[in-house]
A and B are shown apart, each in its own frame.
Chain A
Amino acid sequence: MVIDVQRAGPSTGVPTKTEQGDLWQMLGAGHGDYPRVIAAPVDIGDCFKLIPEMFNLVDKFQCPGIVLTDLLLSEGTTALDPEELNFNVEIDRGELITSAEHNSANGYKRYLFTESGVSPRAIPGVPGHIHTVATDEHQEDGVLISDEFTNPIKRREMMEKRQRKIAGIEAAVRTPELIGPPDADVTLIGWGSTHGVIEEVVEMLNEVGITANHLQIRWIVPFRGERILEILRKAKHTIIVENNYSGQFARYLRSETSFVPDGYIRKYDGEPFMPHHIVEAVKEQLSGRTKLSVPMHEIMV
């Protein structure tokens, strides 16, 4: 499991300030084409909940998991009901072999072809399950097929075995849900740490007579494109709110669903959004003045 706390780049950038600028870095981290899980926690309490959830997923599906958070959450503070902090979470390490009860007398195959794509994993020290874990491509028993013994048929089978995990991962995570009335004037789409500010914006818009609803994306991969599209097709006016320059999430949403929203609100000055920034931007976009708003952060001395 990798935790990426996004800060304002490039390079060291503005290292004490926040940004949502690493999305595509995480989507493409590592070479090769393999399953991974990426989630963006929506608030500080959610960081606490997500970690055990992610540990269970990466153990169960034997693939990397990335927690894509940012400085707003990692160095922020919040008030939480202690009841929300569950220290006795379920731990599910998946198909793990820790003793020789499952003895298969050396017929054990670490990378056994299974329907789920997940092969039971023996930990070192268990009699009868000796194997070599390989980062090179390998056969079911761990023997390499990367150099002298390259085998295109086996390679294809191994690729397909790994990719079969995706179906299981998709079934294991919650689908995104729309918060608020479905027939609202405006739908605000955010991901990760912008949840709190958008929630407040919805209330403020309601007060001035603009009805709003809210779609916050927590699971980046697996991305439930069909469900998201189903929600967004019914929306009257969609705006993506994100803390970066180029609209990384807007691009990702389009790549996964072909969906193009009505407008964008972005900010890349190192500071998070404040509610009035988004409220003003929504007003100017609903009046048709612009499709892209970049609120100016007030300098406070």
Chain B
Amino acid sequence: MATTTHGLKQITLPDLKGKVDPDWCPGCGDFGVLAALQKAVVELQIQPHHIVTISGIGCSSNLPGYLNTYGMHTLHGRALAVATGVKLANHSLTVVVTGGDGDGFGIGGNHFIHTMRRNVDLVYLAMDNQIYGLTTGQVSPTSRIGMKTKSTPFGSVEGPINPISLALAAGATFIARGFSGEQKHLTNLIKQAIQHKGFAFIDVFSPCVTYNHDNTYQWFKPRVKKLEDDASYDAGNWIAAMEKSQMWGEEIPIGKFFQRTDIPALHESEPILDEGEPLAHRKARIAPAVAMEFIAELM
């Protein structure tokens, strides 16, 4: 009945529709991730202009153009670095980063580790399809050993990265895994990630129906098991999370692996941001006393 929330217009799904329709292949897992993100925003009633969606390069990195929020389609692997800047410049915004496994764990691997270590208050949705799709199917950092791709005609000889274990080791404070084929579950994870104060990482299985014939919907469906279905699983237990993260094969856990809320986010520990408005709205000036102090030091 209410048409407004906190004096602002109520947000519905059409409000989040971007200027153009996705050019993803029919059946691409990324459609499910986009839909889940839109549903999460509607359920949380966040105004679209308060959200910035930031991506790198790749099929999944085209997502900001398909969503009506502020967006930045940046350079390959650099989305997290740009997003860190956006969050520090205006920490009142909700910042969501989207991209693929190649963009995030390959080209952007270094940024991934350090953004987690810094606990930047971002939501990072990695659409993991275990292949470089936009470039028409080359081996990626999450491709399995033996996987035949255009760049590995005899099968990959490199072991894949384990994004969940890596995130646990690097100090991310919210770590989850979703599956594009599990809409409600994924929407719920994204909602929790947005509400989490700190770095929230969701590795989302988002099958590439064109170039990855190993890790298909049919392959994932019988394997994924929700952590939430196990009442004894405690997402506050780091060691249990690390053990679960090692599971792969007949059973692959999805859901919230780990969360801790006792570590401040980067913008909460930065003394410059302690008082006053976000940086973007401040008139930054060096106070005369500070200038005098600086000159005195050199005299």
- Tell me the A residues contacting B by CB distance below 8 Å: 82, 85, 87-88, 91, 98, 123-136, 141-144, 147-149
Min CB–CB distance A237 → chain B (angstroms): 41
B63-79: CB near A (< 8 Å → 1, else 0) gives 01100111111110000
Known: A85-B295, A135-B73. 20 other contacts (CB 8 A): A82-B295, A87-B291, A88-B285, A88-B286, A98-B280, A124-B90, A125-B49, A125-B50, A126-B49, A127-B47, A130-B68, A132-B18, A132-B65, A132-B71, A133-B74, A134-B65, A134-B73, A135-B75, A142-B71, A144-B62
Provide 5 A-B residue pairs closer than 8 Å at the C-beta atoms, listed in order of the A residue. Answer: A91-B284, A126-B49, A130-B68, A132-B73, A143-B20
Asked if residues B23 and A130 are in contact (CB atoms below 8 Å), the reply is: no
* Interface hits, B31-84 → A, CB 8 Å: 47-50, 52-53, 57, 62, 64-65, 68-75
Asked if residues B295 and A125 are in contact (CB atoms below 8 Å), the reply is: no
Flag whether B86 is at the interface (Cβ < 8 A): yes
Closest to A83 in B: B295
Min CB–CB distance A89 → chain B (angstroms): 10
Closest to A80 in B: B298
Asked if residues B48 and A130 are in contact (CB atoms below 8 Å), the reply is: yes
* List of A residues within 8 angstroms of B299 by Cβ: 82
Min CB–CB distance A8 → chain B (angstroms): 28
* List of A residues within 8 angstroms of B68 by Cβ: 130
Min CB–CB distance A127 → chain B (angstroms): 5
- Complex-state Cα separation, A87 to B296, whole angstroms: 14
- Complex-state Cα separation, A134 to B299, whole angstroms: 47
Instruction: Point out the residue from B50, B65, B280 that lies within 8 Å of A143, measured CB to CB.
Output: B65
- Complex-state Cα separation, A88 to B50, whole angstroms: 33
Please judge, given known A-B contacts A87-B288, A87-B291, whether A123 and B280 are in contact too, CB under 8 Å.
yes
Asked if residues A130 and B73 are in contact (CB atoms below 8 Å), the reply is: no
- Complex-state Cα separation, A141 to B71, whole angstroms: 12
* List of B residues within 8 angstroms of A91 by Cβ: 284
Asked if residues A147 and B23 are in contact (CB atoms below 8 Å), the reply is: yes
Min CB–CB distance B12 → chain A (angstroms): 16
Flag whether B6 is at the interface (Cβ < 8 A): no
